[in-house]
Amino acid sequence: MDDAVRFLVRARAGRQCEYCHLPEEYAAFTPFHIEHIIAKQHGGTDARANLALACHHCNFHKGPNLSGIDPVTRRIVKLFHPRRHVWPYHFVWAGARLIGRTAIGRATIAVLQMNDPDAFKDRQALIAEGVFPTP
């Protein structure tokens, strides 16, 4: 993956995590990762359609996972796919807490641990500064 592709992925994402929307400029651990949505171990490629910008927290917890268990229905569902799914359809903010509106949203929040206490506190601080969530 060359620098031009990295630049494109970062710009396409608006320099925010494509899962939790944390802005890269306010994150503790930077730069964010250029993530393979379908991991290479599952046959994912370096094609731009398979790449997303992910913060350290989301990238670490997603790992090579492609699916999770919806905590409401207990069914196995695909994780949120930043290139194929529309974020506001699957997620909504309730203050600093991210709510899954769909099975995909709920399973993604669970697998990526998007509401863990540290992420929640970081978002509360950004909300207090008036820089989150971004439009």
CB of 40 to Zn ion, least distance (A): 20
Q: For residue 38, give the nearest of 55, 62, 22, 19 by alpha carbon.
A: 62
Q: Does 96 bind Zn ion (CB under 5 A)?
A: no
Answer for the pair 92, 81: CB distance below 8 angstroms, yes or no: no
| Per rule CB under 5 A, count of chain residues that contact Zn ion | 6
Q: Does 20 bind Zn ion (CB under 5 A)?
A: yes
Q: Which of residues 42-61 bind Zn ion (CB under 5 A)?
A: 55, 58
Q: Which of residues 65-94 bind Zn ion (CB under 5 A)?
A: none
Answer for the pair 119, 20: CB distance below 8 angstroms, yes or no: yes
CA distance 75 to 57: 24
Q: Which is nearer to Zn ion, 20 or 103 (CB)?
A: 20
Q: Does 13 bind Zn ion (CB under 5 A)?
A: no
Instruction: Give strand ranges (E) for 4-59.
Output: 33-36, 51-54
CB of 59 to Zn ion, least distance (A): 7
Other beta carbons within 10 Å of 50: 17
Q: Which residues sit at the interface with Zn ion, rule CB under 5 A?
A: 17, 19-20, 22, 55, 58
